[in-house]
Amino acid sequence: MWSFSFLLFWDGNGCTDTTMCPAYATCTNTSRSYYCSCKRGFLSSNGLKTFKGPGVECKDIDECSQSPTPCGPNSICRNLPGRYRCSCMTGFSSPTGNNWISGKQGHFTCRDVDECANPRSCPEHSTCHNSPGSYSCVCNPGFQSRSGRKSFQGLKEMCEDVDECANPRSCPDHSTCHNSLGNYSCVCNPGFQSRSGRKSFQGPGEMCQDVDECANPRSCPEHSTCHNSVGSYSCACNSGYISRSGKKSFQGPGETCQDIDECSQKPPPCGPNSRCRNLPGRYECSCLTGFSSPTGNNWISGKPGHFTCTDINECLSHGVCPEHSECTNSLGSYRCSCKVGFTSGNSTCEDVDECANPRSCPEHSTCHNSLGSYSCVCNPGFQSRSGKKSFQGPGEMCQNIDECSQTPPTCGPNSSCRNLPGRYECSCLTGFSSPTGNNWIPGKSGHFTCTDVDECANPRSCPEHSTCHNSLGSYSCVCNPGFQSRSGKKNFQGPGETCEDVDECSRNSTLCGPSSVCTNIPGKYSCSCLPGFFSPGVWSPEKPEAFKCADIDECLQDPSRCGPDSVCTNTLGSYSCGCVVGFHPNPEGSWKHGNFSCQRIPFKCKDDVIPSNMQVQLCHAGAAVEPKYVSFCALMNATLSVLDNVCENKTTVVSLKSTAKRLDSVIEKTSKWSNFTKEETSTLATVLLESVESTTLAAFLKPSANVSQTIQTKHLDIESKVIDKECTKENETFKLKAKGDEMKIWCSTIKESESTGINGVAFVSFSGMESILDERFLKDLQIPWASSKKKLKINSRVVGGIITGGKKDGFSKPVIYTLENIKPKQDFESAICVSWKPDVEGGRWTPSGCVLLEASKTHTVCGCNRMVNLAVIMASGEVTMEFTLYLISHVGTIISLVCLAMAIITFLLCRTLRNQNTYIHLHLCICLFLAKMLFLTGVDKTDNQMGCALIAGFLHYLFLACFFWMLVEAVMLFLMVRNLKVVNYFSSRNIKMLYLCAFGYGLPGLVVAVSAGLQPQGYGMYNRCWLNTETGFIWSFLGPVCTIIVVNSILLTWTLCILRQKLSSVNAEVSTLKDTRLLTFKAFAQIFILGCSWVLGIFQIGPMANIMAYLFTIINSLQGAFIFLIHCVLSRQVREEYRRCTTRKTKPSSETQTSGILLSSVPSTSKTG
């Protein structure tokens, strides 16, 4: 809404305007003038008591800063505008009460409050002490405050009893402290008494002394001793006695000491081998027979010495035992026994003849008797087991001597010895003989000696193909070179073994070297080269190193060996045939059979799919890319990697299922696609669609593809069908289905495709691609401004038809596609069948080549004369921009820009127009000019998503700034009219232009910043750079606009009411017929032109949409022209400035005008109260 100003000429005194004097001042009229004076409590800024003009201010006097303070001692002073407030400090009071303000009744004085007059000021067990402005509480003796402070205030503190017993010095040693409320007492411990004799006392001056209980002979019983101690005593039984209770130390006469029977103790006190006799308080010890003690017998405890009974050794006495006997001492006694070899008789020991007993010596031995003993000696040829020559007892044995185990051998070398009982037998080993013969025994005639026998003298000792070698005592057979023994032994004996031919070729595969053939011959071998290899030297057993097989390069010998469009590759010993790029091997031929040929590949390979985009080239090359391209390169390389196995010259089958899963993972990552630019998205989508087609066609070329397949993944469904003999009639059709979509193709179309190999068709349906390749990618090649359609949406899945033939378009019969609608089609919507053109800006949707056949609520049927990737776009008919609207909008905007430029130049160059209101008009025109210019040049720049969002943000800001300047103008107009008191004076003139700029430019910036922070994706749409209308983000603009329109309407209506009231009393004709009509026209014209035109855009729905669209376009595009008309053409002063500039004449004017409305010759009749 646009506000405008007024010029009024009035007469009157100075005080009729309340703003002539500043705040806190009084205006006084004089006969010809007036003067101002500050009120009580205020001082003028120039120091004068009376003054004129608005430049002087009345400043408050701070009475509280005076010394002494006006409130007096013990008070708090707070300054107020024109006065001051007094309050007493804590602990003081005034008869006038607190918060006393200067000018009230009474005299403010702060007096001390006696808090101790209130018995509740201090807690129990304390005393209150009053002081000026305060008081303190002190705990009574024997009490202390809970916080530990000596003085305190309030009942929150408590006086608790002091535990004097907590101090160990409160009572003397050997006493016990008893605490009581506010007091304590000391009592001596048992066994002690106070020096004064008192049982209870206080203070460390008293002492507790020990009582000697042993002074009383009755303290301990008989046979005991009393021991006094500090504070107590103890009784202990004398040696040889024990207390009845068993205690070693006790008290009181009730206990007795009884005699101890030491002899009953274990172990006995007299020790072993003794006799003990108990006595009162002691005992007597004596040794048993055969024992003695150094202290003698009948020793009584307590006598000197240590009683111990030791054994008496009787064997030390001579003649105790007879000759040839031994004496053996024992504990307390002794024993005599005859020596070995003697026997007792009549107390004497006589010799025993052991040889009389045949068992005294073992077998094969002889017994020899001696005095008191005997000896055994083994017979010749035998020896004792222990090796002794002379021994005793049957425990020893005479064993046969093994002469055969002696060294050197008893029978000599090359012989065998056999041991016999008491002698041995000699025989020669095999291969040796003796002149005495074998089985020679010592004692026979002759000398036994073994000499070698030569077995090789017998030709039958070794088999055929072997050589005999005689050795000492033996011989060996060795197979000749080229032969080996059947058992595998190198050396053997006997004719039972045979020598067989060795197959050297099977033992060592590298015997002849690489790429060669080894041939075995009896006893030797020969070498030759494999086919495809040759050796410059002939093989011979004498010089095997001269033989070496080298590869023959067949491709060099005959380059045309594989045929046309092929590549011959030499291999080790052979060669292979492959096809050049763009061709593949004919599956019916093979280079091994000599019928190899190459056929052109009917699909694109990776090199054909990769676009010329520099960023895609860097991704494919694996070069380092910027961080923002990492996700794009990852998805691009993942898509291209699917084609790696498709275009290679392999015979392996292309798995359509595995490749579909890999491509499904690329489609699944739609969250990453949303971060790409429009160019990146279309490029990646084109590569993906062509990759799906190539992998499907590649699957048809392999033998296993002769079976129809149906592949279903989360985001990709493929149904492929191999056409063999089914296509017999031209009118026959085939239907393929995927994800609820369908393709129907004629047999005649399949024949037209000119397929040379396997005939196959496939239908593909993508789920999720519709959200990526949405309506932003629509490109109409015939109408350049068709991209400005306002409401388009893709309403189907993206589908594709694939055929094996080389011909892909120009079919005589269309391919019928039936696509399932994502959302039900509305009556006002029209369907558009669009196909994907990869060669237009990296990939765009275009309606060329396909026509709409049928459209229902659930399905859309399209007919295309080529195999395409297809989708359905819904267009809302009532919001589609027509060419007429496009022309009106652009022509009107250009006219507005010219008019706004003229208005800006007028406000800048015309000095007589310079005032606050024209400055507001100037800022409004600048904002509207920039907004119109940016709208004209940038609203359709949707290619760059970020740039489009910035353009939408600047348009949001500039249009909002226009409305906020409109609000500023309305507010200034209202303030001007409301405060109209004197001629040509407005209170709004005191508002600085800087504050108005902060409001006019700052608040729109705040709205845009908050909107961008809450929903940054709301800036920019697929078809224009403006606020998103589908998500409700447009209300971040329409909300403030509608609010400003309502506020401006209220303010203007209020302004007109004030004007009518004030001007009607001056001149009815001027106020009613001229000024009010002009004011009403301009004010409400601005509201409609700059405000209501945007509201019309909200109602572009339903049957009235076209009318509203035309009204909105006409009014909105011509806003600048209307502004120029209102503020320049309809302004008489501006017209005069224009006329003066054209005629070069200057016309004096004494009038001051703010917005072109002149109210002259109006006497003042209003007065201020």
To which residue do tokens 């189907």 refer?
796
Query: Are residue 935 and residue 988 in the same domain, yes or no?
Result: yes
pLDDT of residue 989 exceeding 70: no
The pLDDT value recorded for residue 737 is 92
> Is 69 domain-assigned?
no
Q: Which residues contact 176 (CB under 8 A, 6 or more apart)?
A: 186, 187, 188, 189
> How far is residue 942's CA from residue 949's CA, in Å, rounded to a whole number?
9
Query: Are residue 564 and residue 646 in the same domain, yes or no?
Result: no
Task: Please tell me the total count of domains within the chain.
Answer: 12
> Is 244 domain-assigned?
yes
| 569, 556 contact by CB (below 8 A) | no
* CATH code, domain with 585: 2.10.25
| 1052, 1087 contact by CB (below 8 A) | yes
The pLDDT value recorded for residue 369 is 86
DSSP secondary structure letter of residue 63 = G
* CATH code, domain with 1085: 1.20.1070.10
| 926, 958 contact by CB (below 8 A) | no
> How far is residue 10's CA from residue 545's CA, in Å, rounded to a whole number?
134
Element (H, E) at 935: helix 916-938
Query: Are residue 788 and residue 835 in the same domain, yes or no?
Result: yes
Domain that holds residue 998: 887-1158
* CATH code, domain with 734: 2.60.220.50
- Closest among 818, 823, 882, 822 to 852, alpha carbons compared: 818
pLDDT of residue 74 exceeding 60: yes
Per mean pLDDT, which range of 344-348, 421-425, 584-588, 787-791 is the poorest? Answer: 787-791
| β strands within 1102-1166, DSSP E | 1158-1159
The pLDDT value recorded for residue 928 is 87
pLDDT of residue 1004 exceeding 90: yes
> Is 916 domain-assigned?
yes
Q: Which residues contact 882 (CB under 8 A, 6 or more apart)?
A: none
Element (H, E) at 34: strand 34-38
> How far is residue 530's CA from residue 31's CA, in Å, rounded to a whole number?
140
| Cis preceding linkage at 68, omega within 30 | yes
- Closest among 747, 724, 722, 719 to 734, alpha carbons compared: 747
| β strands within 774-918, DSSP E | 792-794, 798-803, 815-820, 829-837, 844-846, 850-855, 859-864, 869-876
Q: Quick count: other Cβ atoms within 10 Å of Cβ 90? A: 9
Query: Are residue 726 and residue 677 in the same domain, yes or no?
Result: yes
Query: Are residue 970 and residue 1007 in the same domain, yes or no?
Result: yes
Per-residue model confidence as pLDDT tens digits over 121-156: 899 889 999 988 888 999 988 888 888 888 888 888
> Is 9 domain-assigned?
no
Query: Are residue 98 and residue 197 in the same domain, yes or no?
Result: no
Query: Are residue 181 and residue 198 in the same domain, yes or no?
Result: yes
The stretch 411-440 carries a mean pLDDT of 85
Query: Are residue 933 and residue 912 in the same domain, yes or no?
Result: yes
- Closest among 777, 603, 612 to 690, alpha carbons compared: 603
Instruction: Give the Å distances, CA to CA, from 1156 to 4, 910, 1153.
Output: 8, 14, 6
Main-chain dihedrals φ then ψ at residue 652, nearest 5 degrees: -70, 150
Query: Are residue 823 and residue 941 in the same domain, yes or no?
Result: no
* CATH code, domain with 156: 2.10.25.10
Instruction: Give the Å distances, CA to CA, from 775 to 88, 780, 833.
Output: 78, 12, 12
Structure-token pair, residue 46: 């120039």
| Cis preceding linkage at 267, omega within 30 | yes
> Is 29 domain-assigned?
no
Regarding beta strands 325-330 and 333-338, do their DSSP bridges make them parallel or antiparallel, or are they unpaired? Answer: antiparallel
Query: Are residue 687 and residue 704 in the same domain, yes or no?
Result: yes
DSSP line for 484-513: EETT--SEE-STT--EEE--HHHH-TTTT-
> Is 671 domain-assigned?
yes
Identify which has the larger pLDDT, 963 or 1158: 963
SS3 of 240-300: the string is CEEECCCCCCECCCCCCEEECCHHHCCCCCCCCCEEEEEECCEEEEEECCCEECCCCCCEE
> Is 895 domain-assigned?
yes
Query: Are residue 206 and residue 226 in the same domain, yes or no?
Result: no
CB neighbour class for 1140 (10 Å; exposed up to 12, middle 13-18, buried from 19)? middle
> Is 56 domain-assigned?
no
> How far is residue 425's CA from residue 410's CA, in Å, rounded to a whole number?
10
- Closest among 1003, 918, 929 to 967, alpha carbons compared: 1003
Per-residue model confidence as pLDDT tens digits over 507-552: 887 888 888 888 888 888 888 888 888 888 788 877 877 888 888 8
> How far is residue 104's CA from residue 878's CA, in Å, rounded to a whole number?
76
Would the pTM count as exceeding 0.85?
no
* Among 146, 162, 178, residue at a domain's last position: 162
Main-chain dihedrals φ then ψ at residue 695, nearest 5 degrees: -65, -35
| 233, 214 contact by CB (below 8 A) | yes
Per-residue model confidence as pLDDT tens digits over 222-275: 888 898 888 888 999 988 888 888 888 888 778 888 888 888 888 888 888 888
> How far is residue 343's CA from residue 252's CA, in Å, rounded to a whole number?
77
Question: Could you report how far apart the first and last alpha carbons of the chain are, in Å?
Answer: 33
Structure-token pair, residue 599: 């056929």
Query: Are residue 692 and residue 721 in the same domain, yes or no?
Result: yes
